[in-house]
């Protein structure tokens, strides 16, 4: 397997606090690996409470005295559009770095960089177009909503599609007039190191954006508990979300939680089978399967089950696993050896919980790097761990069903409720099923299409609150009611 190493990699990834790149107060660092060689290519500053204190102090200064929260929405939007221009202008470099650090296939990393730019454009437009409620009692009263940014936003992000997911929080937080401290994931800090230059070049005032690298239990924990951070936007694992939820309680902080998933794709016998196959393969094998909305359980109606399994497995065996930088690659290397080991444990477990149809270990002839062959298990029972637990890799469970009621029960029989995908040509069934399934987002005969104005979020163990469109702006702002009698 070839291994492309980008030119000009930084050897040290620092914090960005108060407009400067700085080391940790303690001087401590940690190694950052790339997922193909699994050797360290850089060290990152290991932030702790004292570094978070400095970052929050800078962000608070910018919030209390700086121009950003006080600027007209249109003036903020101009800066956000310049940020989008800068992201677009370096999308190829961003994708190269993201692919090197995460193992994502290069073509998909490029799409994520472009989506990050789009997030800034979208929230620039939204904040300018925003209208707030006004209620009049004729001749007696006027009541109106005055919207203001909440303060210093703590943003904590995961390692899958890191740059794009950071933009999904940074753009609405900044559009709303908040100042921020970002704590990127420790497995993948490389692309986040580009934000400082992008923001400075676009004219974001000093101290508005701050970044502290480090481990969740140290830097992340200190940010969550900091008394001057009134809200936390978190994306990551459900168990981490539970810890953060508890830690936010003391400060009664605002929280937005985008957590894990085990989303079902339900394929009825009347579905367009070719389209359903394309979509369900994409749903779990794109982004290396490291995708929160992965359709990792496929429920198939009995009359087409055998044919579906056969065609699905044949297509899975044809997926190109390889060097993440090769444009032909469809599945790259998993992010980190720890995560690779976790996925491989599920692959081994699956061999006793289902019938192995494809994959089942490393691709043949590949003996280094975090590579897992796209793996398909059939006849997986609902009490199997590979049916219930989030694997977050290129592994899928196929399960047959006989009736619509059984399909719904199976779809809902997990603790998660992030997404669901439904394939049927029966319009009535499509909508009644969609409305009954326990999922924050449902795709009917489609996948990977989403208007950024729609709510994004899960139910049950998949999250709390919604981001997306005006819901993001609601999260980062207080809506103060002002009442006037005439
Ligand atoms: P993770 O929970 O391990 O880490 C996420 C972030 O939280 C990291 O920055 C980490 O350092 C930090 N963190 C860890 N412990 C912390 C603590 N005690 N206090 C504060 N911060 C802490 O998640 P991950 O493994 O990086 O990401 C994968 C998970 O993210 C999967 O479960 C996936 O489904 C989920 N995810 C969800 C969405 C969504 O929108 N619902 C999107 C992407 C990923």
Residues 6+ apart with CB under 8 A from 380: 297, 350, 353, 354, 386, 387, 397, 398, 399
Alpha-carbon dihedral 323, 328, 330, 334, rounded to 10 degrees: 10
- What's the confidence (pLDDT) of residue 2? 77
Atom of ligand 1 at shortest range from CA of 238: 32
Assess contact for 268 and 433: CB atoms under 8 A: no
Report which protein residue has its CA nearest ligand 1's atom 12. 216
Give phi and psi for 385, each to the nearest 5: -65, -35
CA of 127 to the centre of ligand 1 (A): 28
Q: How far is the CA of 223 from the centre of ligand 1 (A)?
A: 14
> Which residue spans within 259-392 are E strands per DSSP?
264-267, 297-301, 355-358, 375-378
Structural domain total, the chain: 2
Among 170, 348, 369, CA closest to 359: 348
166, 235, 236, 416: which to mutate for ligand 1, most atoms within 8 A of CB?
Answer: 236
Distance 235 CA to ligand 1 centre (A): 5
In the reported structure, the alpha carbon of residue 312 is separated from the centroid of ligand 1 by a whole-number distance in angstroms of 30
What domain range includes position 284?
Answer: 264-444
Ligand 1 surroundings by CB, under 6 angstroms: 156-160, 165, 183, 185-186, 215-217, 220-221, 224, 235-237, 240, 243-244, 258-261, 292, 390, 392, 418, 458, 463
Distance between CA atoms of residues 273 and 350, nearest Å: 26
Shared-domain flag, residues 228 and 314: no
276 and 254, same structural domain? no
Q: Looking at the domain assignment, is residue 431 inside a domain?
A: yes
Identify whether residues 96 and 180 lie together within a single domain: yes
Atom 11 (ligand 1) nearest CA: 216
Residue of the nearest CA to atom 9 in ligand 1? Answer: 185
236-238-243-248 Cα dihedral, nearest 10 degrees:
70
Residue 157 Cα to ligand 1 middle (Å) = 6
Kind and range of the H or E run holding 15: strand 15-17
| Torsions phi, psi for 448 (to 5 deg) | 60, 25
Ligand 1 closest atom vs CA 183? 9
Same domain, 421 and 475: no
Q: What is the CATH classification number for the domain harbouring 241?
A: 3.40.605.10
456 CA closest ligand 1 atom index: 40
- Taking the C-alpha atoms of residue 199 and residue 182, their distance in angstroms, rounded to an integer, is 13
Residue 192: closest CA among 206, 212, 219, 178: 212
Q: Is 298 contained in some domain? A: yes
- Whole-number Å distance, alpha carbon 2 to ligand 1 midpoint, is 30
Atom of ligand 1 nearest to the CA of 260: 34
Q: Give the contacts of 349 (CB within 8 A, at least 6 positions apart).
A: 385, 386
Q: Are 399 and 379 in contact (CB under 8 A)?
A: yes
In this structure, which residue's CA is closest to atom 35 in ligand 1?
Answer: 236
Q: Which of 237, 261, 283 to mutate to test the pocket of ligand 1 (most atoms within 8 A of CB)?
A: 237
- Which residue owns the Cα nearest ligand 1 atom 10? 216
Give the CATH number of the domain where residue 366 resides: 3.40.309.10
Element (H, E) at 44: strand 40-45
Could you tell me if residue 225 is inside a domain? yes
Atom of ligand 1 nearest to the CA of 184: 9
Q: Is 216 in the same domain as 318?
A: no
What value of ipTM does the predicted structure carry? 0.97
Same domain, 182 and 316: no
pLDDT on residue 3: 85
Same domain, 83 and 51: yes
Q: Does 63 lie in the same domain as 162?
A: yes
Task: Quote the ligand 1 centre to 237 CA distance (angstroms).
Answer: 4
Closest Cα to atom 8, ligand 1: which residue? 185
Rounded distance between C-alpha atoms, residue 133 and residue 141, angstroms: 14
CA of 379 from ligand 1 middle (Å) equals 31
Q: How far is the CA of 365 from the centre of ligand 1 (A)?
A: 33
Active site residue 406: no
Q: Which of 300, 301, 296, 299 is nearest to 416 (CA)?
A: 296
CA 262 to CA 389: how far, in whole Å? Answer: 7
Instruction: Report the nearest atom of ligand 1 relative to the CA of 186.
Output: 11
* 269 shares a domain with 247: no
Digitized pLDDT (tens) for each residue of the chain, 486 residues in all: 778 999 999 999 999 999 999 999 999 999 999 999 999 999 999 999 999 999 999 999 999 999 999 999 999 999 999 999 999 999 999 999 999 999 999 999 999 999 999 999 999 999 999 999 999 999 999 999 999 999 999 999 999 999 999 999 999 999 999 999 999 999 999 999 999 999 999 999 999 999 999 999 999 999 999 999 999 999 999 999 999 999 999 999 999 999 999 999 999 999 999 999 999 999 999 999 999 999 999 999 999 999 999 999 999 999 999 999 999 999 999 999 999 999 999 999 999 999 999 999 999 989 899 999 999 999 999 999 999 999 999 999 999 999 999 999 999 999 999 999 999 999 999 999 999 999 999 999 999 899 999 999 999 999 999 999 999 999 999 999 999 999
390 found inside a domain: yes
109 inside domain: yes
Instruction: Answer yes or no: is 455 within a domain.
Output: no
Q: Are 371 and 397 members of one domain?
A: yes
Q: Is position 459 within any domain?
A: no
User: Can you state the angle between helices 302-318 and 273-285, rounded to 10 degrees?
Assistant: 50
Query: What is the spatial distance between Cα 362 and Cα 419, in angstroms, rounded to a whole number?
Result: 28
At 399-413, the pLDDT tens digits run 999 999 999 999 999
Q: Indicate whether 280 and 352 sit together in one domain.
A: yes
Atom number, ligand 1, closest to the C-alpha of residue 158:
26
Residue 449 domain flag: no
- 171 and 149 share a domain? yes
Q: Pick the catalytic residue from 258, 330, 390, 438.
A: 258
């Amino acid at each position: 397997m070839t291994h492309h190493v980008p030119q000009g990699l930084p050897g040290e990834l620092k914090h960005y606090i108060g407009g400067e790149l700085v080391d940790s107060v303690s001087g401590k660092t940690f190694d950052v690996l790339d997922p193909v060689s699994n050797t360290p290519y850089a060290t990152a500053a290991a932030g702790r409470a004292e570094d978070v204190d400095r970052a929050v102090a800078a962000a608070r200064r910018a919030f209390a005295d700086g121009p950003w929260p006080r600027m007209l929405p249109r003036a903020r939007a101009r800066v956000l559009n310049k940020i989008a221009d800068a992201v677009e202008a370096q999308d190829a470099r961003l994708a190269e770095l993201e692919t090197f650090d995460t193992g994502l296939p290069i073509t998909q990393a490029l799409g994520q960089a472009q989506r990050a730019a789009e997030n800034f454009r979208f929230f620039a437009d939204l904040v300018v177009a925003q209208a707030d409620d006004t209620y009049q009692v004729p001749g007696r009263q006027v009541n109106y909503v005055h919207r203001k940014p909440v303060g210093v936003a703590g943003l904590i992000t995961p390692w899958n599609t890191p740059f794009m997911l950071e933009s999904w929080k940074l753009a609405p937080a900044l559009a709303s007039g908040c100042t921020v401290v970002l704590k990127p994931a420790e497995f993948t800090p490389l692309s986040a190191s580009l934000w400082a230059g992008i923001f400075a070049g676009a004219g974001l005032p000093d101290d508005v954006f701050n970044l502290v690298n480090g481990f969740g239990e140290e830097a992340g924990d200190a940010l969550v508990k900091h008394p001057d951070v009134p809200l936390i936007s978190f994306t990551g694992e459900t168990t981490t979300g539970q810890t953060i939820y508890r830690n936010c309680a003391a400060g009664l902080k605002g929280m937005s939680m985008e957590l894990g998933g085990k989303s079902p794709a339900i394929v009825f016998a009347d579905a367009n089978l070719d389209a359903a196959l394309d979509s369900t393969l994409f749903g779990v094998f794109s982004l290396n399967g490291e995708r929160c909305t992965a359709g990792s359980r496929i429920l198939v109606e009995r009359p087409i089950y055998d044919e579906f399994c056969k065609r699905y497995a044949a297509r899975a065996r044809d997926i190109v696993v390889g060097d993440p930088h090769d444009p032909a690659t469809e599945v790259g290397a998993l992010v980190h050896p720890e995560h690779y080991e976790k996925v491989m444990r599920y692959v081994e477990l699956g061999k006793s919980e289902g019938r192995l149809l494809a994959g089942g270990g490393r691709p043949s002839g590949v003996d280094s790097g975090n590579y897992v062959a796209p793996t398909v298990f059939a006849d997986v029972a609902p009490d199997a761990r590979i049916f219930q637990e989030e694997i977050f890799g290129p592994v899928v469970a196929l399960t047959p069903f006989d009736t619509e009621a059984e399909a719904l029960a199976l779809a809902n029989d997990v603790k998660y409720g992030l997404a669901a995908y439904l394939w049927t040509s029966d319009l009535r069934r499509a909508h009644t099923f969609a409305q009954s399934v326990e999922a924050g987002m449902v795709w009917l005969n489609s996948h990977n299409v989403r208007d950024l104005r729609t709510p994004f979020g899960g139910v049950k163990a998949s999250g709390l609150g919604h981001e997306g469109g005006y819901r993001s702006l609601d999260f980062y702002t207080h809506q103060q009611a002002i009442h006037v009698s005439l």
